[in-house]
Amino acid sequence: MSVLHLTVFLGLFSFNLALDNGLALTPPMGWLTWQRFRCITDCVKYPNECISEALIKRTADRMVDEGYLKAGYNYVGIDDCWLEKERDVHGNLVPDRQRFPNGMKAVADYLHDRGFKFALYQDYGTKTCMGYPGVLGHEAGDINSFVKWDVDYIKLDGCFIDTAKMDEGYPYFGKLLNDSGRPIVYSCSWPAYQKEPNYASIAKHCNLWRNWDDIQDSWGSLSSIMTWFAEHQDEFTKYAGPGQWNDPDMLLIGNFGLSLDQAKVQMAVWSILAAPLLMSVDLDTIRQEFKEILLNRDIINIDQDSLGKPGSRVWNQSKCEIWNRKLADESYALAFVNRRDDGAPYSVKVSFDSMKIPKQAYEVNDLYKEEMDRSFGPTGEFETRINPSGVKFYKFIPKKFNEIDVKT
């Protein structure tokens, strides 16, 4: 068997283990209501924040006008709290009549007309986490509604259901989605509710899955998620790839809880993890410096790298750590994260072994453009200085042989 054949064969083999609906070949990017807008339903008191058609429309407009769509953020999603509290007499889900006066198909049309895809939340249990009707016992009918409304992405939460039932329930719902014939990205909250998730099965049935706790608007929450992902990375990193992604939850960037440096940490580490990039922020009021982080093309390219192989934390010492991701072009994305809080920027000096990169010569580009590009290797140690709760994020690009030694 030639190398080419072997590659093709292995490629097919691994593809068969994935959910084969042709979707989410790179981590989904977009905007979701939950983290910023939660379950705000009082449009009289909070007209600019309530979960409503108006919020979706103004966000979509912003995403077009300000370049988010162009940068790749093409899913716009409504999380919990879009429903009436009761189904109709036929057992159908009913979007809130005040806040979605034209129904969900009108929302989908608005988004599709502008080049977006439409994401919607539901829950596998009897109720959603906030107490609206869940899909249990109504799976097929509800998928019918989603198809009628032209939904492109379903986030299926796991409140109000026995977690032991999820191992069959999530695949069953996925099968019904497939039977519907409409390509719908399937985001599962399944592992987040279980102690020992069966990731092989999850990766086979879902395009992405929430591994752990909800993110909250603070450095403490972000930091705990990074720690958890690092400590558990051997359990699930290997299951991610085109069509199947681990999901450490939404981006906090641009909201209240993160400093500029902390926001840079999230964008860097999320791109190393090949995480979905789902903003949840008021795009009418976001400050320019946060917007620049979300629109950093070099970092988006790392997240969306075609190899689709997530990275991991490869080193930590004295509350500093290195996150490493190998990219399709043989270069490496390396995030140096400082979790210290003792004032001045902290210097680290590390070997090739610590960084887990081959010993060779590199051109090193700072992805946040705070430093000049530099050369490093093929020997020596790499030194960098990182702000407290901050990051230095580099792309290490191997120098071609003829750029270094061949001087004839």
Euclidean distance between CA atoms 152 and 301, whole angstroms: 23
| Residue 22 or 220 with smaller CB distance to ligand NAG | 22
| Residue 227 or 360 with smaller CB distance to ligand NAG | 227
Cα atoms in the 13 Å half-sphere on the side-chain side of 97? 4
Residue tagged active-site, from 150, 214, 282, 298: 214
Least separation in angstroms between residue 185's CB and ligand NAG is 10
Euclidean distance between CA atoms 91 and 297, whole angstroms: 45
With tokens 């934390």, the residue in question is 313
| Residue 20 or 289 with smaller CB distance to ligand NAG | 20
DSSP 211: -
Euclidean distance between CA atoms 117 and 149, whole angstroms: 12
Euclidean distance between CA atoms 388 and 390, whole angstroms: 5
Residue tagged active-site, from 80, 157, 249, 303: 157
Euclidean distance between CA atoms 340 and 336, whole angstroms: 12
Least separation in angstroms between residue 278's CB and ligand NAG is 21
Task: Find out whether 18 and 243 touch, Cβ atoms under 8 Å.
Answer: yes
Euclidean distance between CA atoms 127 and 109, whole angstroms: 27
Least separation in angstroms between residue 156's CB and ligand NAG is 15
Give the residues lining the site for ligand NAG (CB under 6 A): 20-22, 178, 181-183, 227, 230-231, 316-317
Euclidean distance between CA atoms 263 and 271, whole angstroms: 13
Least separation in angstroms between residue 323's CB and ligand NAG is 12
In 127-253, at which residue ranges do the beta strands (DSSP E only) sit? 153-157, 185-188, 208-210, 245-247
| Residue 33 or 211 with smaller CB distance to ligand NAG | 211
**Sheet of strand 29-32: strand arrangement:** 245-247, 208-210, 185-188, 153-157, 117-123, 75-78, 29-32, 277-279
| Known catalytic residue at 214 | yes
Task: Find out whether 76 and 123 touch, Cβ atoms under 8 Å.
Answer: no
| Residue 56 or 386 with smaller CB distance to ligand NAG | 386
Q: Show the tokens assigned to 37.
A: 């807008």
Least separation in angstroms between residue 324's CB and ligand NAG is 15
Task: Find out whether 193 and 160 touch, Cβ atoms under 8 Å.
Answer: no
Cα atoms in the 13 Å half-sphere on the side-chain side of 338? 21
Euclidean distance between CA atoms 107 and 151, whole angstroms: 10
| Residue 39 or 147 with smaller CB distance to ligand NAG | 147
Least separation in angstroms between residue 19's CB and ligand NAG is 8
Least separation in angstroms between residue 25's CB and ligand NAG is 13
| Residue 19 or 274 with smaller CB distance to ligand NAG | 19
Q: Show the tokens assigned to 57.
A: 């429309």
Which residues participate in catalysis according to the annotation?
A: 157, 214
